[in-house]
A and B are shown apart, each in its own frame.
Chain A
Amino acid sequence: MISIHDLDFRYSRGGFRLQVPALDVAAGERVAVVGASGSGKSTLLDIVAGIRKAAAGEVTVGGNALAELSDAACRDYRIKRIGLIFQAFELLEYLTVRDNVLLPYRIGRALKRQADIDARLDKLAGETGIAARLDRYPEQLSQGERQRAAICRALITAPELILADEPTGNLDPENKQRVLALLLEQVANHGATLVMVTHDHDLLEPFDRVVDMRDFHGADAA
């Protein structure tokens, strides 16, 4: 699903540099990425999502060499095939949960709304336990409910790859386990691949593999 070779990335304004000699993630695999703050975990996810482009090296996701894709093609690929989950949920405050979940369809021209989209939304909301919250605004939800809504948004397009950047970082211990279990369950239901960044070692047990950023070279390039 993901194949990275000889990746060399650095921010245009200098400073941080990330080098990944090789990283492969198989389809359907559940991979946790751990590492200290500033080790490049989120940067790695951005590179895999096509949000940032590497200066050198090969990054192939779902058979697409990202370096060869234009920015527009990269965006289209991302919105259709990748589901993103953020630590701070990143729900739009002025949209109801329903509209937040359907947001990819409203902002992405590459996505066509299928006839059964509402049925899929209801099913997904039912499975994640937010069916009764669909017409509420994010500020009316608990933290756990917000992250469930964010998971729904990531899954609504039935992506083949889920990239989750510390999705449990803002949750209390009880909600962490619940949300993680829910995420893993949904990923399994959809047959998707999961790459999740976390620094919480208590959550690693259910994953197929753990990638430690210490194996790569991520450091300030002085």
Chain B
Amino acid sequence: MNDVLYLAWRYLAFNRWKTAILVAAITVIVFLPLALELVLERSSDRLRARALETPLLLGAPGSPLELVLSSLYFDADPPAPLTYATVAGVNGTGLATAIPLHLGYRVSTQPVVGTSLGYFNFRGLRIAAGRMLALSGEAVLGAAAAEALGADPGDGVVTSPETVFDVTGTYPLKLDVVGVLAPTGTPDDQAVFVDVRTAWIIGGIGHGHEDLAKPEASGSVLKRDGQNIVANAAVVQYREITPDNLADFHFHGDTGEFPVTAIIAVSADDKSGVLLEGRYQDAGAPVRAARPTAVMDDLLATVFTVRQYVLAAVALVGVATLATIALVFLLSIRLRRAEIHTMTRIGAAPGRVAAILGAEILLVLVASLVLAGILTALATAWGDELFRWILLADNA
């Protein structure tokens, strides 16, 4: 058997380009349907699991899919905002507890999620190092985010500037990392969690600057008129919240009018959930409810329908490719008739010659299957990201 495999291997190695093309062709027709099936199954399971854990979402009128994808996976561009007053409104119904989500900012490539402590309890997120959020300006990192940013409790991370060339825009804020979460295998691992007020400060709604009432600020003061103080542009704006300047941070305007991207409504029971959902179903209302499971099921149903067509197309291409490969082998045997003739004249049994040719096919198949297996493993490992990227690219 060793000799048979050796001769088969020598033939394939000598004709390496022909072999490589055959292996590539078989690999593709094995890999494509296998990877598609596995990636879709696994990714859809994970997407559905995340949706199942989130019973009801509230957001501004618009695409429910956009709302679900951005609120659950933090990847899509956030939809139009709600007002923070909605949070109090939902809590006031007594039907559910409202967890605000403010999205849209980033630290490097990691999404900043402004929320309340209720989010951590709701998702079952556990601190692995450091402590939970306590003050504005603090951040707790998901496990993957901490690794990506190379940050531990005690370190600082800086939000990405949103409007570099806009002097009135959003500027980076340094966040103090106070904790790192245990890994969960969900999008929470990628997030930088902050208090929703901190998110507003990142957005420039809240800010901190030197106290103009203090005597040392007189250099910036242009005019004092009772309670009103007019200062020039030299007034110092704080880009980091510290215990010393924490009291200097404040918000102008009504907090209830401040934006949140979405609200997770955690109802006490199914009935409460249905009742709450009913309150936000009016077409003209400023707040719309979305059931993530229903939204994801609609999306996945479309995806699986497309999958059937893709698999059918791959099957057709596969049959055509296999037929071509079979033809290549048959033509190859014809071309090698002289070689086969020589072996049988020297004394090789026809079965031995057939074994050598069979071993060549076997080696090509084994190489293709191994390669397809490796590619499928890689695709499965990166499948979630790939799948979400495809979905989000389609819905961005």
Contacts and interface: CB of A to CB of B under 8 A. Distances in A.
Interface of A: 49, 51, 72, 75-76, 78-80, 84, 86, 90, 92-95, 99, 103-110, 137, 153
B347 A78 contact: yes
Contacts of A105: 3
Contacts, number: 60
B349 A94 contact: no
Contacts of B349: 72, 75, 109
B346 A104 contact: yes
Contacts of A99: 10
Contact of A49 (B6, B10, B339, B345): B345
Contact of A92 (B3, B339, B347, B352): B339
Contact of B343 (A80, A86, A107): A107
Which of A72, A80, A94, A108 has the most C-beta atoms of chain B within 10 angstroms of its own C-beta? A94
A76 B352 CA distance: 13
Nearest to A111: B347
Given A75-B348, A93-B14, A106 B6 contact: yes
Interface string B329-369: 00000000011001101111100110010000000000000
B163 to A, nearest CB: 65
Contacts of B339: 90, 92-93
Contacts of A94: 10-11, 13-15
Given A79-B346, A153-B346, 14 more contacts: A51-B345, A75-B348, A79-B347, A92-B342, A94-B11, A95-B7, A95-B10, A95-B14, A104-B347, A106-B3, A107-B3, A107-B346, A107-B347, A108-B352
24 contacts: A49-B345, A75-B347, A78-B346, A79-B346, A84-B346, A86-B342, A90-B338, A90-B339, A92-B339, A93-B339, A94-B15, A95-B10, A103-B343, A104-B347, A105-B3, A106-B7, A107-B3, A107-B347, A107-B356, A108-B346, A108-B347, A108-B348, A108-B352, A109-B352
B281 to A, nearest CB: 73
Interface in B72-107: none
A173 B342 CA distance: 26
Interface in B1-24: 3, 6-7, 10-11, 13-15
Interface residues of B, number: 20
Nearest to A51: B345
Interface of B: 3, 6-7, 10-11, 13-15, 338-339, 342-343, 345-349, 352-353, 356
- Which 7 pairs from chain A and chain B are nearest by CB? A79-B347, A94-B14, A107-B348, A106-B3, A90-B342, A78-B347, A75-B347
B389 to A, nearest CB: 45
B345 A84 contact: yes
Nearest to A104: B346
Contacts of B14: 93-95, 137
A105 B10 CA distance: 15
Contacts of B348: 75, 79, 107-108
A84 B349 CA distance: 16
B345 A107 contact: no
Contacts of A75: 347-349
B329 to A, nearest CB: 16
A109 B351 CA distance: 11
B359 to A, nearest CB: 12
Nearest to A95: B10
Nearest to A76: B347
A84 B7 CA distance: 20
B352 A107 contact: yes
Contacts of B6: 106
B260 to A, nearest CB: 70
B17 to A, nearest CB: 13
Nearest to A92: B339
Q: B14, B345, B353 — which one has the most chain A CB atoms within 10 A of its CB? A: B345
Contacts of B3: 105-107
A92 B11 CA distance: 9
A6 to B, nearest CB: 25
A94 B356 CA distance: 13
Contacts of B352: 107-109
Best-buried of B13, B338, B343, B353 by chain A (most CB within 10 Å): B343
A108 to B, nearest CB: 5
A220 B112 CA distance: 94
A86 B338 CA distance: 12
A72 B15 CA distance: 31
Contacts of B345: 49, 51, 84, 86, 90
Nearest to A78: B347
Interface centre among A104, A106, A110 (most CB of B within 10 A): A106
B348 to A, nearest CB: 4
Nearest to B14: A94
A88 B39 CA distance: 55
B63 to A, nearest CB: 61
A108 B345 CA distance: 11
A104 B342 CA distance: 11
B49 to A, nearest CB: 53
Contacts of B353: 107
A103 B7 CA distance: 9
For B7, B347, B348, which residue has the most chain A Cβ atoms within 10 angstroms?
Answer: B347
Nearest to B6: A106
Contacts of A104: 346-347
Nearest to B353: A107
Nearest to A75: B347
